[in-house]
Amino acid sequence: MKHLKLLILIAWLTVAYTTKAQIVVEAGNAESLLNAIERANLQNADTLSERLFILIPDGVYDLGERVLTSISGHNIALVGQSMEGTIIVNAPKVENEGISTTATLLNRGHHTYVQDLTLKNALDYYHSGAAGRAVCWQDKGDSTIFKHVRMLSYQDTYYSNNEHGHSYFEDSEIHGTVDFICGAGDVFFYHCLLVMEKRRQNGGGRDIIAAPRTSKTDWGYVFSHCTIRSNNTDFVYARGWREQPHCTWLYTTIEQPEHLQSSRFEPRGMRTIQSRFQEYGTMDAHGRNITPKSNVATFTLNGEKNTTETIITKKEAERYALKNVYSQWRPDKKTRTLQKQSARMMKRYLKL
């Protein structure tokens, strides 16, 4: 009987280990981080691979001029020790500037999970000429989750580059100037801080937070209970990129509402006038409702016009609850589970 119990215990320990596989990166060693990602890509090449955690201690992981470091494996979790202390940074050459050429990390995997770290693209934005497109995370994958993740750049900081993609941000922070949240697919931002950097180094200029190009999905970008912080820079919520862009702002707190332009959205589309841009329940830093009763916007392109009301009702806003946007996936529940697993793993590692 004792022998049987021992066999059962060994079997259980084996299962527990294989379902919580992990790779630990050497603190501050960029080469160790790159090797860990490469190993994870090989180990989790199959979409049905079990979750694999890459634990990244606090430190600066300087990738130099390297761009498009690829996460191609599936069910990979990049877990830092802390959002402020674990920093992955690259600095592309200015001549390499471009939305598809500069990303610090390029995700191609499904069910990627990122937690407690900072991604920084240090391209020399203010000396890059007419454009300074420097992406921290380009996402060609699907079902990506970010928890306590900070992204630091200026233009095109986060790029969702999958027409059918789905992603979820929670308690995260994104900095930028021009279209710094841009791309396709459905992306839900919950309780995130959006920080406007200076459009020009000496001040002035105007920022644009989002530039969706919704084409194959139903919801586009949904910002729920997020906070907008302006570095004394005027801004608008969003502008249309192409296709039929969707962008909805719910219960937003604006710390400096005087910097939100009266149009609230950019009326000039880049390649489209088909826009579903919406807003409900906007507040100032003191929690006072500052949503206008009406904001009729006219979006224009090459002489064509699309006039629409951007302020929606409470009932219409309720349609954009996370449980409706992601009725099957429920990333909020997955986040709670993965966060607990990550915390236990990191705690054990730090005790070694």
- The whole-number mean pLDDT for each consecutive block of 10 residues of the chain, a chain of 352 residues, reads 45 36 96 98 96 98 98 98 98 97 98 98 94 97 98 98 98 98 98 96 91 97 98 94 96 97 94 92 98 96 93 98 96 97 93 76
The C-alpha atoms of residue 352 and residue 341 are separated, in whole angstroms, by 17
* CATH of span 2-351: 2.160.20.10
pLDDT at 204: 80
pTM of the full predicted structure? Answer: 0.93
Helix (H) or strand (E) holding 7: helix 2-18
| 238 token code pair | 């969003």
**Number of alpha carbons in the 13 Å side-chain half-sphere of residue 338:** 30
In a 10 Å sphere around its CB, with 0-12 CB exposed, 13-18 middle and 19+ buried, how is residue 118 labelled? Answer: buried
User: Residue 59: which of 39, 84, 90, 76 has the closest Cα?
Assistant: 84
